[in-house]
Structure 1
Amino acid sequence: MNLLDIRNLSIELDTPSGRVLAVDRVSLSIKEGEVRGLVGESGSGKSLLAQAIIGVLEDKWHVHADRFHWRGIDLLRLSIDERKALLCRDIAMIFQEPMSCLDPTTLIGEQLSEAINTSQLTGYFWQRKKQRKEAVIKLLHKVGIKKHDQCINSYPHQLTEAICQRVMIAIALAGRPILLIADEPTAAMESTTQGQIFRLLANLNQLKNMSILLISHDLENLTHWTNTITVMYSGQFVEAGSTEQIFNKPMHPYTRALVDSSTKANLQLPSKSRLMTLPGSIPVLQHLPIGCRLGPRCPRAQQSCVSAPKVSNFHGHKVSCHFPLLREPGKKESIKHKTVKGKR
């Protein structure tokens, strides 16, 4: 059974000129112990989808879904308060830019202590302070911070960004979540630090069987740490499948462009040559194309792309495209039961 099962989730934004459909019928599922990647360039709706899952969007955003299940519970049947209480207990999220998420006027130790639930403490009330401190130290050790005394007695601006990100992970782990959502956890970090953070998340998944939704714009980086990947573009679902399928056998032109722009795909590229890119840029919310939103930039676009494509399933490899890459554009044969060439 899936931990999280979302079908056709849409998010609308209230604007002076009316509502804008920011996320259009996106489906997402996460199994127990799974590490799923969510990929797309800036503005594709990844962070918006994550915030909708944990219910922290402002009132100007409106969320609708055909199905929104968490561990078999239909969240759409619960009140807003009941839904938030359930999700906040079982799901934790690491936001981008940890320096801006931590309170600059409060010591790290105090912020970690506040994140620890009183129900996790035992014994008499006069023992709680010591137990909280021990729990804080244990959390810091768990995320790889050995000099806990220095960290506890520091303010966020006195620590490096990498240490602050580890503190954010420790705060998220304080609630003992079942699902951890990491939204660009290594943004603007050097490669060595990125590897440390990703290895930490991988250890949490392996040792605690914690499910992780890893959000990033870097497809190649996610291939080292994820089991499955979902690709989004401009608020629409593009493609989903195993990491091997997405990186080695992409079926959507946008996913193909992401793979072609990766370092691995350009190792043999001559010096000073242009990288493979799609023309144009991602559309703004006020001027979204009709139908497939990649249409104005897609090299395979045709007249039928003005209508939204349906999702086709190729033995677990899902793609939303009128002309996926396993066939030539213009051909109209049915592809629902066609097997991907070379698939085991």
Structure 2
Amino acid sequence: MNLLDIKNLSITLQSGSEPIQAVERVSLSLKEGEFRGLVGESGSGKSLLAKAIVGVLDEKWKVEADRFHWQGRDLLRLSVEERKKIITRDIAIIFQEPMSCLDPTNTIGEQIEEAIDSEQLTGFFWQKAQQRREAAVKLLHKVGIKKHSLVSKSYPHQLTTTLCQRVMIAMALARRPKLLIADEPTASMESANQAQIFRLLASLNQLKNMSILLISHELDKISHWTDYLTVMYSGQFVEAGTTSQIFDTPYHPYTKALIASSPKFQAHWQKKSRLDTLPGSIPVLQHLPIGCRLGPRCPNARKKCVIAPQIRSYQGHQVSCHFSHKGDY
């Protein structure tokens, strides 16, 4: 049984005279212990999908799905209180700007201690404060922060972005979640610091059997760490499969363009030569194309593309395209 099982999820913005469907019929599944990457350009709906999973979208967003299951339970059919209890216990999320997520008025130690679940503490009430401090130190060590005393007494503005992101991961781990969603966790970091965060996430996946959904717009940087990849474009599902399937035999024109735009995956790429790119840019929410939203930019577009394609599966490798094989043209 899948840990997370979402089928045909749509997210609609209830704003202005006409509602806008920001995410259209996207499917996503995660097994226990799976490390999956979610990839797409900025504005493709990746962060909206993550926020829908943890239930932090406000009332102007309407979330609908044919199936929205967590360990077999349909979250959309539960009351707000029941859903919040499950998500708080089992799912954690870290966002791309740790500085804006941490409280500037409290020390790091106070914030981590507050995140620790009371159910993990034992003994009398006067013993629990010491237990919280000890648990906070262990969490800091777990995410690779050795100078725990200095960091615990510091405020967020006194730490680097990388240290703050490690603190956010420590706070996410405080409740021992089964699924950790990392939304662009290495944005604006240097390459060395990015690698440190990715190694930390990989160790959590391997040593703790924690499922991880890693969201990024940089396909080349997360390909080394993930077992599976899901690609999105402009709020639509594009392609999904194992990481090797996506890179060895990409079916969708958008996935092919993402791979072709990275010199890391071009064996014959010459220095100073022009990278392959798709013409145009991702459409704005107010002017979304009908059918396949890649249509205006797609080199393989046909009349049929004004109809949204159905998902095809090739031995577990899924693609949403009318012309996923050359014989389809």
Write out per-residue CA displacement over residues 129-151 of structure 1, whole angstroms, 9 at most, x where no aligned residue.
11110000000000000000000
The residue identity in structure 1 corresponding to 2:269 is: L
Aligned to 1:165: 165
Find the counterpart in structure 2 of residue 225 from structure 1. 225
Alignment of 1:155-194 (within 5 A): 155-194=155-194
Q: Structure 1 CA distance, aligned partners of 2:270 and 2:115?
A: 52
Any conservation in 1 of the 2:312–2:319 contact (CA below 8 Å)?
yes
- Deviations along 1:177-198, whole A, 9 cap, x unmatched? 0000000010110110011000
Distance 1:267 1:59 in 2: 48
Quote the residue 2:139 is aligned against. 139
Q: Look up the match of 1:113.
A: 113
| Matches of 1:188 and 1:321, distance apart in 2 | 33
Letter in 1 for 2:194: Q
SS of 1:146's equivalent in the other structure is coil
Q: Residue 340 of structure 1 aligns with which residue?
A: none
Supply the AA of the counterpart residue of 1:247: F
Task: Return the offset for 1:263.
Answer: 2.5
| SS of residue paired to 2:58 | coil
Kept in 1: contact 2:263–2:275 (CA 8 A): no
- CA deviation map 1:99-147 (0-9, x unaligned): 1110111100000010011111111111111111000000000000000
1:310 paired residue number:
310
Q: C-alpha displacement at 1:327, in angstroms?
A: 1.4
How far apart, in 2, do the equivalents of 1:22 and 1:88 lie? Answer: 26
* 1:76-91 mapped onto 2 (5 Å cutoff): 76-91=76-91
Q: Which amino acid aligns with 1:206?
A: Q
Alpha-carbon shift at residue 328 of structure 1 (Å): 4.3
Q: Name 1:46's counterpart in structure 2.
A: 46
The CA distance in 2 between the partners of 1:21 and 1:321, in whole Å, is 20
Provide the residue aligned with 1:258 in structure 2: 258
Q: Is the 8 A contact 1:37 1:216 kept in 2?
A: yes
Structure 2 residue identity aligned to 1:131: Q
Q: Give, in whole Å, the separation in 1 of the partners of 2:167 and 2:76.
A: 33
Whether the 8 Å contact between 2:263 and 2:269 is mirrored in structure 1 is no
SS at match of 2:150: helix
Give TM-score, length-normalised by structure 2. Answer: 0.98
Aligned to 1:15, what secondary structure does the other structure show? coil
| CA distance in 2 between partners of 1:270 and 1:34 (Å) | 36
Question: Percent same amino acid at aligned positions?
Answer: 70
Q: Which deviations, in whole Å up to 9, do the C-alpha atoms of 1:75-110 show, x marking residues without a partner? A: 222112211211111000001110111011110000
**Counterpart Cα distance in 1 of 2:31 and 2:199:** 20
Give, as a single letter, the amino acid of the residue that structure 2 aligns with 1:64. E
Is 2:313 the partner of 1:327? Answer: no
Structure 1 CA distance for aligned equivalents of residues 146 and 230 of structure 2: 35
1: distance between equivalents of 2:269 and 2:8? 40
Verify the 8 A CA contact 1:94 1:183 in the aligned structure 2.
Answer: yes
After TM superposition, give the deviation of residue 269 of structure 1 in Å. Answer: 2.5
Q: Is the 8 A contact 1:24 1:236 kept in 2?
A: yes
What RMSD, in angstroms, separates the aligned Cα atoms of the two structures?
0.9
> CA offsets, 1:246-277, max 9 Å, x none?
11210000000000011323453333221110
Match of 2:284 in 1: 284
CA–CA distance in structure 2, aligned partners of residues 88 and 110 of structure 1: 19
Check conservation: 2:289, 2:295, Cα contact below 8 A. yes
Query: What displacement does 1:17 show?
Result: 2.4
Q: Which runs of 5+ in 2 are unaligned?
A: none
Question: Who is 1:12 aligned against?
Answer: 12
SS of alignment partner, residue 112 of structure 1: helix
Residue 268 (structure 2) aligns with: 268
Partners of 1:329 and 1:254 in 2: how far apart?
Answer: 17
Take 2:17 and 2:272, find their aligned partners in 1: how far apart are those partners?
A: 45
Query: Does the alignment pair 1:154 with 2:139?
Result: no
Give the whole-Å Cα distance in 1 for the aligned partners of 2:307 and 2:315. Answer: 25
Q: Secondary structure at the match of 2:188?
A: coil
Aligned residue type for 2:36: R
Q: Do the aligned partners of 1:231 and 1:238 also contact (CA within 8 Å) in 2?
A: yes
What is the identity, as a one-letter code, of the residue corresponding to 2:179? Answer: L
The secondary structure found in structure 1 opposite 2:76 is helix
SS of residue paired to 1:187:
coil
